[in-house]
Structure 1
Amino acid sequence: KMFGGLSFMVNGKLAASANSHGNIMVRCNPDRVDELLTHKGASWPEMRGKPMSKGWIVVDRTGTSSNVEFDAWIKEALDFVH
């Protein structure tokens, strides 16, 4: 458990974390953050009320409502941590 949910490590790096509210936080290339924030359900993550550094995106249920959308976010995380 990490970040208040269940986290998934790949090659010793945090790739994604799911919480009990139905959100996922995914690791991503910091250079892609601005573009990824335009996707449905995506927002900038906060930790203890402060914005996190580039390289993370939070996606709510609206952004992962289909398998295609969910898979795209997980692919984003896996591409970065590999």
Structure 2
Amino acid sequence: MAYDEGLAARVRELLRGETDLTERKMFGGLGFMLEGHMAVAAGSRRSLMVRVPEDADVDPLLRPMEMRGRVTSGWFETDPDRELNDAELERLVRPSVAFVRTLPAKVRG
């Protein structure tokens, strides 16, 4: 299954103006990277994936992300094909961006 291109376009628009933003296709999804760290992704299961700090309160629209039967620490996702309105999308994406901006930039080699 492929990522939702419409969702990816909406995330791209929301992140327009962010410095050191790159996109990377991986595992059937499209990740949005800030200073080398993935902050959010349009997932291959047609969900929005977001990165949050371990101790954060998790938005009720999110559930723990699982890969190969294991819960992935620090990553959450929406239900597949969940239609997010603009306010919900921003509410989920902005905290991930803020969190990733606290991490040291990855050294490119």
Q: TM-score scaled by structure 1? A: 0.79
Larger Rg: 2
Sequence identity percentage: 36
Alignment partner for residue 81 of structure 1, among 100, 103, 106?
100
1:25-63: CA deviations, max 9, x gaps? 11111101xx315x13x111111111112x11111344x
- Give structure 1 stretches of 5+ with no counterpart: none
Aligned CA-pair RMSD = 1.7
Aligned counterpart for 2:72 among listed residues 47, 52, 61: 52
**Structure 2 segments unaligned to the other structure (5+ residues):** 1-24, 102-109
Query: With structure 2 as the length reference, what TM-score do the two structures score?
Result: 0.62
Matches of 2:71 and 2:93 in 1, distance apart? 22
Q: Whose helix fraction is larger, Structure 1's or Structure 2's?
A: 1
Which is bigger in relative contact order (C-alpha 8 A, separation at least 6)? 1
Paired residue total = 76
Alignment of 1:25-36 (within 5 A): 25-32=49-56, 35-36=57-58
Distance 1:44 1:19 in 2: 13
The runs of at least 4 consecutive aligned structure 1 residues that moved more than 6 Å come to none
